Amino acid sequence: MKTIVAAVDFSNATLGVLEMAGSLAKAYGAKLHLLHVIEQEPTYTAYGFTPDEYPVLHEFQEEAKRRAARKLEDLLTTLAGDVPGTSVHLVEDSPLHGIMNYVKQTNADLVVLGSHGHGVVVSLLIGSVAEGMVRKAIVPTLIVPATSPV
């Protein structure tokens, strides 16, 4: 195992994902990629609007990216001593596709991500990235349960 992708969403599942992915990367001497996927900036071109007509959407997206980048750097600092060579990556896409595309791009051997433990109704209504990763797995996928329900 040479490359591990730890997909984090900054929820109560993140700490468990970091601990598991960090332990595995250390044990196998693997490179660890901390990945956060942020939803793409919405577009209203289908409705005849241009992004210039709604600059606040762009400003919101840029602020979301800045905050996510800071959080990733904070996570990197916590792992830096334990898992040398850890890197952070921020991708704009839908969470499931963003993770899957990044896994392909890096030829990852393992994906570690968290599960929030929402019930069946929530999963049916909004879906679950963890479930999607397992269903469409292209590499082994390890799901780490959240530390406490949200």
pLDDT tens digits for range 63-105: 999 999 999 999 998 876 788 889 999 999 999 999 999 999 9
52 by Cβ neighbours in 10 Å (0-12 / 13-18 / 19+) ranks as exposed
45 DSSP assignment: G
Domains along the chain?
3-145 (3.40.50.620)
pTM of the predicted model as reported, rounded to 2 decimal places: 0.83
Residue with the larger pLDDT of the pair 45 and 140 = 140
| Cβ-count burial 66-89 (b if 16+ within 10 Å, e if not) | eebeebbeebeeebeeebeebebb
pLDDT tens digits for range 15-55: 999 999 999 999 999 999 999 999 887 766 666 666 677 77
At 124, is the pLDDT very low, low, confident or very high (cuts 50, 70, 90)? very low
* Residue 3, strand partner residues: 31
